[in-house]
Amino acid sequence: MSAKLLPWHEHRRRVIDRNTPAGARAERPPADESRSVIWQLLSANNRELARSADIYADFASARASAVRAAEAVATRGNVTLVSDDRRGAYGWYVEVDQIPEVVCARWYVAERERRHAVDLSLASLPLAQIAEGARQYVEWQATAPRVALR
């Protein structure tokens, strides 16, 4: 898995996987990890509000997921509030038809912050302009740069 996706994967695992019944869909990295894509909901000032709850093999699949989430969250979305007792932090994720679709962008130190983030994300997602192209992130290594889609 790309080093850029490792923090996302760990965050998703802590927010969703330990709170989801065993029968629910589990995220699987695509076979070609150089083409791993996630989507992010960004505010006007470029602050991340939420993320996809899955990794996609290509941009088209990630974009289709974002469109589905934007359309379905308001009508069929079910918010699950979670907490990390070890750290005293609060998180959330949204299921559509019992499948995790959206995950919080980060952990929150107060319940009030979490509630605000949920409200803002749920209000913003149906209004979001979904990009026609992906951002590319370059990982600099000692020998040569490596491009990873995120």
8 Å CB contact between 42 and 30: no
Q: What per-residue confidence (pLDDT) applies to 143?
A: 37
Ramachandran sector of residue 60 (left: φ over 0; alpha: ψ -120 to 50; beta: rest):
alpha
Mean pLDDT in residue range 13-19? 78
Q: What per-residue confidence (pLDDT) applies to 93?
A: 95
pLDDT confidence tier of residue 134, bands split at 50, 70 and 90: low
pTM for the predicted model, two decimal places:
0.76
Q: Which domains does the chain have, with CATH numbers?
A: 6-149 (2.30.29)
Q: What per-residue confidence (pLDDT) applies to 13?
A: 85
Residue 92 pairs with which residues in a beta bridge?
81
